[in-house]
């Protein structure tokens, strides 16, 4: 049975073997390697045992028909599902005539290490065969950041016996059946048809979407024989005592010269050699961590979890362009491989301040899908663009419209990401080529869906905000405030400005709180949270959820985090306490945002508890649906909780401001970020905060202007009382 070893600063170590399919699938997600372009789940080298095999190429998908018990106008007719690409991972070993299988013989040692600085997955095994032959195995796996189409494995085995290795490149692997969780992916059997094969190359095409993919493979360091068929290339080597080789494979897809590209990338990587691939990987990550690392003194586990989250955010976005960043990254097939709104609202903010080149690519991908969004707007009889709730290539792929099509805030989320990226980078070229058009087209939708009542107040009716347990409401505060920002940035005309100025922000005078949406505080209360089975959506019909004051995830609280200048401090305090008592956190997106407001309002221990929840969601055994891929937005959420929460980072109006504080759990907190090409390091202790810059930078410290030129400045940190936590239905840590 495996366990994650005690927290280490820069590695995640698994000791032993995962027991059971669920644990195996969870580990395969944790130990996935990716670069945003290609991704390899953390399957064992040998084909069995396994939970869910997975090799993913960004935007390699198959189409499926969507069927409805009752059809409706403008319901999407097709959806897209990520498919398991040709797999270059499998290596089957035979020792003294017996197949190596961790479930047989004696497994003396089995250890895997995900190295967050090296960007590698290393596996070490000591095994005794049923006949008593001792074997030692070491493999190192890398998915190159510098060479986006390339992955490689170094495989070394020793034993006092004859050894045989069968190293495969295989297509159309059998997939486990789908479960009934609505968040799980559909399973597509045999998605590929063969097009061409050669000694070192397989070319296939998806049967419906028509995407052609080529993969080229080579083995370096040992002599072997090749056998090739339409769906498999097998390289076989035999030797007494020991075998060591490097397996290098590269992909080409979604373009004209797939075969040539795959072979060229593979050959270039083989010429460079495995050691050079490792050196390039380390250099790339050194550069990343120099501007992204978070250091915490006082909690090794959350320290590890935060770095783990940042690493996987980078793996999801580093080379994603010209494709989207899926909500599971390339660690699994959850959500069918779709990208959702949490990309712009959670993942891109982190990358904007740590690795902004990723963000420009991701937003250019959104711009490349603008024609699909315009077509969807026309279909819905709206103006401008209506960006999809779920998609891979651009069309709307969600058939559940109350929490999909009605969640119009996706438009404003995209516009907000554009504004944040431009403010943080000054990338005027991007704005001319893509950003300005994105802001204008998203804003035209708000101009169309808004209307004025008899008193001249503007409204947006019948929408769903971030809280998917409260659907089809009028004047969702988050949606209206984000739409206001979108309209003002676009400055289309006087009418648009008037709409922005007059948009309703519902407020309950009797209770002294903002309403999440008009009428929310007058809904019936959920009778009791005690003894409930979570998530509620798997145990209660939406008819019950929609009619109650029960909140799936931060919504009004998210509005206060992203549009904080629209609320007074006292309003924030009352709102936070009110919605804490009604938020069940049935989404991994909730805890990071609650951490931000808790820290701002002085609930420091509560904020830290929410940080812990986000940082450890996937690392701990049995994380919520982690077997079908990691929660990339929650991975980003640990950084959000630290830097926006305890760092107090805000960028209102394009101005960088910081209001640092430190939770009682820590003795020192340090984080890094980029702003307009300058790196800023912020070090917080209970007594002081120190800013160190490697170039010119201007920002605000607790509202006061600060300018640095390649130097540092320190301020005394006034103590902040750690306020008690308000009541909440589920204490931090109690999530599925």
Do the bridges between strand 524-525 and strand 548-549 make them parallel or antiparallel, or are there none, so unpaired?
parallel
Which pLDDT band, with edges at 50, 70 and 90, does 320 fall under? confident
| Cβ atoms of 476 and 465 closer than 8 Å | yes
Could you tell me the pLDDT band of residue 1, with boundaries at 50, 70 and 90?
Answer: low
Residues belonging to the active site: 468
Give 520-541 as a DSSP string: GGGSEEPS--TT--SSGGGTS-
- How crowded is the C-beta side of 384, counted as CA atoms within 13 Å? 25
CA–CA separation, 258 vs 202, rounded Å?
10
- Provide the 10 A C-beta neighbour count for residue 695: 15
pLDDT band at 179 (very low <50, low <70, confident <90, very high): low
Q: Cα torsion for 674, 423, 688, 712, to the nearest 10°? A: 60
How many angstroms separate the Cα of 126 from the Cα of each of 160, 585, 721?
13, 42, 53
Q: How many CB atoms lie within 10 A of CB 170?
A: 19
Instruction: Looking at 369-435, list the stretches that DSSP marks H as alpha helix, in order from N- to C-terminal side.
Output: 370-379, 409-425, 428-430
Beta-bridge mates of residue 135: 127, 159
Evaluate whether 381 touches 338 at the Cβ level (below 8 Å).
no
Collapsing DSSP states into helix, strand and coil, what is residue 369?
coil
Give CA–CA dist 314/290, Å, rounded: 13
Q: At what angle do helices 477-490 and 409-425 cross, to 10 degrees?
A: 50
Q: Report CA Rg, the chain.
A: 26
Question: Residue 192 pairs with which residues in a beta bridge?
Answer: 206
Is the per-residue pLDDT at 623 higher than 60? Answer: no
d(CA 341, CA 347): 10
157 vs 69, more confident: 157
Query: What is the Cα–Cα distance from 587 to 698, expressed in whole angstroms?
Result: 36
Q: How confident is the model at residue 47 (pLDDT cuts 50, 70, 90)?
A: very high
Per-residue model confidence as pLDDT tens digits over 429-476: 999 999 999 999 999 999 999 999 999 999 999 999 999 999 999 999
Fold of the domain spanning 3-257: Beta-galactosidase; Chain A, domain 5 (2.70.98)
The whole-angstrom separation of Cα 76 and Cα 212 is: 25
The pTM (predicted TM-score) of the whole model is 0.96
For residues 65 and 277, what is the distance between their CA atoms, to the nearest angstrom? 41
Q: Which residues of 205-223 are buried (b: 16+ CB within 10 A; e: fewer)?
A: bbeebebbbbbbbbbebbe
Enter the tokens of residue 533.
Answer: 């089975």
pLDDT averaged over every residue in the chain? 95
User: CA-CA distance, 341 to 562, in Å (whole number)?
Assistant: 14
CA 174 to chain centre: 26
How far apart, in whole angstroms, are the C-alpha atoms of residue 141 and residue 28? 13
Mean per-residue pLDDT for 294-312? 97
State the binding site for substrate.
341-342, 552-553
What is the DSSP secondary structure assignment for residue 117, as one 8-state letter?
Answer: T
Assigned CATH topology for domain 339-608+633-651: Glycosyltransferase (1.50.10)
Please give the distance of CA 203 from its chain centroid, rounded to a whole number. Answer: 30
Q: What's the start-to-end Cα distance of the chain, in Å?
A: 22
Residue at token pair 């998203």: 442
> 325-373, pLDDT tens digit by residue?
999 999 999 999 999 999 999 999 999 999 999 999 999 999 999 999 9
Average pLDDT in the 627-644 region?
96
Stretch 297-304: mean pLDDT = 97
Quote the pLDDT of residue 199.
Answer: 92
Residue limits of CATH 1.50.10.10 in the chain = 339-608+633-651
* Residue 531: pLDDT band with limits 50, 70, 90: confident
CATH 2.70.98.40 domain position(s) in the chain: 3-257
Q: What is the pLDDT of residue 186?
A: 78
- The residue with tokens 């690409």 is 85
Binding residues: 341-342, 552-553
User: Residue 165, Cα to own-chain centre: how many angstroms?
Assistant: 36
Cα(242)–Cα(134) distance, integer angstroms: 12
Cα–Cα distance for residue pair 250/147, rounded to 1 Å: 9
**Cα dist from 25 to 31, 50, 54, 618, 735, whole Å:** 10, 7, 10, 12, 19
Calpha distance 479→483 (Å, rounded) = 6
**Residues near 332 by beta carbon (within 8 Å), at least 6 away in sequence:** 28, 29, 32, 41, 52, 54, 185, 627, 628, 629, 630
Q: What is the pLDDT of residues 381-437, one digit of tens each?
A: 999 999 999 999 999 999 999 999 999 999 999 999 999 999 999 999 999 999 999
Residue 699's CB is within 10 A of a number of other CB atoms, namely 22
What residues does 198 pair with on adjacent strands?
Answer: 201
CA 342-346-348 angle, 5° bins = 100
Tell me the percentage of the chain whose pLDDT exceeds 70: 98
For residue 122, what pLDDT band results from cuts at 50, 70 and 90? very high
The model's confidence at residue 184, banded by pLDDT at 50, 70 and 90, is: low
pLDDT tens per residue, range 69-84 = 888 999 999 999 999 9
Query: DSSP letter string over 616-665?
Result: HTTTSTT-TTGGG---HHHHHHHHIIIIIIIS--B-GGG--EE-----TT
In the predicted model, what is the mean pLDDT of residues 268-273? Answer: 98
Please check the confidence at residue 187 and state whether its pLDDT lies above 90: no
Residues 125-153 have pLDDT tens digits of: 999 999 999 999 999 999 999 999 999 99
Q: How far is CA 411 from the centre of its chain?
A: 19
Sheet holding 712-716, edge to edge: 294-297, 668-675, 678-684, 688-693, 712-716
Rounded mean pLDDT of 503-526? 98
Residues 6+ apart with CB under 8 A from 611: 302, 306, 591, 592, 595, 638, 641, 642, 645, 646
Distance (Å, whole) CA 395 – CA 373: 7
Q: How many CB atoms lie within 10 A of CB 361?
A: 20
258, 264, 265, 268: CA torsion to nearest 10: 180
Chain position carrying tokens 């909140």: 551
Q: Which helix (H) or strand (E) holds 167?
A: strand 150-170
The greatest distance separating any two alpha carbons of the chain, rounded to the nearest whole angstrom, comes to: 88
User: What digits encode the pLDDT tens for the residues 636-666?
Assistant: 999 999 999 999 999 999 999 999 999 999 9
pLDDT tier at 5, thresholds 50, 70, 90: confident
pLDDT of residue 705: 97
Residue 267, C-beta contacts closer than 8 angstroms, at least 6 positions apart: 218
Q: Which residues pair with 95 in a beta bridge?
A: 98, 163
């Amino acid at each position: 049975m495996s366990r994650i070893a005690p927290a280490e600063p820069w590695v995640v170590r698994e000791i032993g073997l995962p027991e059971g399919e669920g644990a195996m699938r969870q580990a395969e997600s944790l130990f996935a390697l990716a670069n945003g372009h290609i991704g390899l789940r953390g399957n064992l080298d040998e084909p069995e045992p396994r939970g869910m095999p997975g090799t993913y190429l960004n935007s390699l998908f198959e189409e499926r028909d969507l069927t409805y018990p009752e059809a409706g106008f403008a319901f999407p007719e097709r959806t897209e599902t990520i498919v398991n690409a040709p797999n270059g991972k499998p290596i089957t070993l035979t020792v003294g005539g017996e197949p190596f299988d961790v479930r047989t013989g004696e497994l003396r040692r089995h250890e895997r290490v995900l190295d967050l600085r090296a960007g590698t997955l290393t596996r070490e095994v000591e095994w005794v065969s049923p006949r008593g032959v001792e074997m030692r195995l070491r493999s190192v796996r890398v998915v190159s950041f510098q060479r986006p189409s390339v992955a490689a494995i170094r495989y070394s085995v020793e034993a006092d016996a004859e050894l045989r290795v069968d190293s495969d490149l295989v297509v159309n692997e059998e997939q486990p059946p789908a479960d009934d969780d609505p968040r799980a992916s559909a399973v597509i059997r045999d998605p590929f048809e063969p097009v061409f094969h050669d000694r070192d190359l397989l070319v296939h095409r998806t049967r419906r979407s028509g995407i052609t993919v080529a993969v080229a493979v080579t083995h370096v360091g040992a002599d072997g024989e090749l056998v090739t068929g339409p769906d498999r290339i097998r390289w076989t080597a035999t030797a007494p005592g020991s075998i060591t080789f490097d397996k290098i494979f590269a992909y080409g897809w979604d373009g004209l010269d797939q075969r040539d590209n795959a072979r060229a990338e593979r050959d270039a990587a083989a010429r460079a050699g495995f050691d050079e691939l490792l050196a390039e990987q380390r250099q790339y990550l050194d550069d990343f961590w120099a501007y992204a690392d978070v250091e915490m003194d006082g909690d090794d586990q959350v320290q590890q979890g935060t770095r783990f989250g940042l690493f996987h955010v980078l793996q999801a976005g580093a080379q994603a362009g010209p494709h989207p960043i899926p909500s599971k990254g390339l660690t699994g097939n959850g959500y069918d491989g779709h990208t959702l709104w949490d990309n712009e609202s959670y993942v891109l903010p982190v990358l904007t301040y740590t690795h902004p080149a990723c963000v420009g690519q991701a937003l250019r991908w959104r711009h490349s899908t603008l024609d699909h969004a315009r077509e969807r707007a026309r279909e819905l009889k709206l103006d401008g663009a209506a960006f999809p709730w779920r998609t891979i290539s651009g069309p709307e792929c969600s058939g559940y419209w109350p929490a999909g099509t009605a969640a119009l805030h996706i438009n404003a989320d995209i516009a907000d990401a554009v504004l944040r990226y431009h403010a943080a980078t000054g990338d005027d070229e991007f704005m001319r080529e893509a950003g300005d058009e994105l802001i204008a087209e998203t804003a035209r939708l708000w101009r169309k869906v808004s209307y004025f009542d008899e008193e001249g107040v503007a409204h947006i009716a019948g929408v769903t905000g971030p809280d998917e347990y409260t659907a089809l409401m009028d004047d969702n505060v988050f949606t209206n405030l984000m739409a206001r920002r979108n309209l003002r940035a676009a400055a289309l005309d006087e009418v648009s400005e008037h709409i922005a100025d007059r948009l309703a922000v519902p407020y309950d005078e009797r209770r002294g709180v903002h309403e999440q949406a008009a009428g929310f505080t007058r809904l019936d209360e959920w009778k009791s949270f005690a003894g409930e089975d979570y998530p509620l959506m798997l145990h209660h019909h939406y008819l019950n959820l929609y009619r109650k004051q029960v909140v799936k995830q931060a919504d009004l609280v998210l509005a206060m985090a992203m549009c904080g200048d629209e609320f007074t401090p006292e309003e924030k305090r009352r709102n936070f306490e009110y919605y804490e008592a009604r938020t069940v956190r049935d989404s991994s997106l909730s805890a990071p945002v609650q951490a931000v407001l808790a820290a701002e309002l002085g609930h420091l221990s509560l904020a830290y508890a929410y940080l812990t929840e986000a940082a450890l969601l996937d690392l701990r055994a049995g994380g919520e649906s982690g077997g079908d891929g990691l929660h990339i937005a929650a991975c980003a959420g640990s950084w959000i909780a630290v830097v926006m929460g305890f760092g107090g980072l805000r960028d209102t109006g394009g101005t960088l401001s910081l209001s640092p504080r430190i939770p009682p759990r820590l003795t020192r907190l340090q984080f890094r970020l980029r702003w307009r090409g300058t790196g800023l390091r912020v070090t917080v202790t209970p007594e002081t905060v120190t800013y160190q810059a490697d170039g010119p930078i201007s920002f605000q410290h607790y509202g006061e202007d600060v300018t640095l030129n390649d130097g540092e400045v320190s301020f005394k940190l006034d103590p902040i009382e750690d306020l008690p936590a308000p009541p909440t239905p589920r204490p931090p840590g109690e999530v599925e």
